[in-house]
Amino acid sequence: MTTSEQIVFSKESLELVQKMMLRYPEGKHKSALIPVLHIAQAEFGGWLSAPVMDYVASILKIQPIEVYEVASFYSMFNLKPVGKCLIEVCRTSSCWLCGAEDIIDHIENKLNIKVGETTADGMFTLKAVECLGSCGTAPMMQVGADYHENLTLSKVDALLEKFKSEDKQSRYC
Partner 1 sequence: MSKKLLLKNDHIPNINQLAVYRQHGGYTVLENTLKNSNPENVLEEVKKSGLRGRGGAGFPTGMKWSFLARPEGIPRYLVCNADESEPGTFKDRYLMERIPHLLIEGMILSSFALGAKTSYIYIRGEYFYVSRILEAAIAEAYAAGLLGKNIMGSGFDHDCYVQVGAGAYICGEETALLESLEGKRGNPRIKPPFPAVAGLYGCPTVVNNVETIAAVVPILELGGDEYAKIGIGKSTGTKLISASGHINKPGVYEIELGVPVEEFIYSEQYCGGIRGGRKLKAVVAGGSSVPILPTELILKTANGEPRLMSYESLGDGGFATGTMLGSGGFIVMDEDTSIVKNLYTFARFYHHESCGQCSPCREGTGWMEKIIHKILDGHGTMQDIDLLWDIQSKIEGKTICPLGEAAAWPVAAAIRHFRSEFESYVQNPENIKDIKHYYRLQN
Binding site for partner 1 (CB under 8 A): 23, 25, 28, 30-35, 37-38, 62, 66, 69-70, 73-77, 91-94, 96-99, 101-103, 130-139, 142, 145-147, 151-153, 172-173
**Long-range pairs for 69-77: beta carbons < 8 A, 24 or more residues apart:** 70/33, 70/34, 70/37, 71/37, 74/34, 75/129, 76/38, 76/172, 77/37, 77/41, 77/48
* Partner that binds at residue 140, options partner 1, ligand FES, none, CB closer than 5 to 8 Å by kind: ligand FES
Q: Where are the alpha helices (DSSP H) in the chain?
A: 11-21, 33-43, 50-60, 64-71, 93-97, 100-111, 153-166
Question: Is residue 140 exposed (0-12), middle (13-18) or buried (19+ Cβ within 10 Å)?
Answer: buried
Per CB under 6 A, contacts with ligand FES among 103-132 are: 131-132
Nearest approach in angstroms of CB 132 to ligand FES is 4
Cβ proximity to partner 1: between 30 and 110 the closer is 30
Cβ proximity to partner 1: between 29 and 84 the closer is 29
Residues in the chain: 173
The one among 13, 92, 119, 169 contacting ligand FES by CB under 6 A = 92
Nearest approach in angstroms of CB 5 to partner 1 is 26
CA–centroid distance for 47 within its chain:
8
The one among 67, 90, 104, 111 contacting ligand FES by CB under 6 A = 90
* Partner that binds at residue 121, options ligand FES, partner 1, none, CB closer than 5 to 8 Å by kind: none
- From CA 73, how far away is CA 81, in angstroms rounded? 17
Which residue type does 126 have? L
The one among 107, 128, 140, 141 contacting ligand FES by CB under 6 A = 140
Q: What are the residues binding ligand FES (CB under 6 A)?
A: 90, 92-95, 131-135, 138, 140
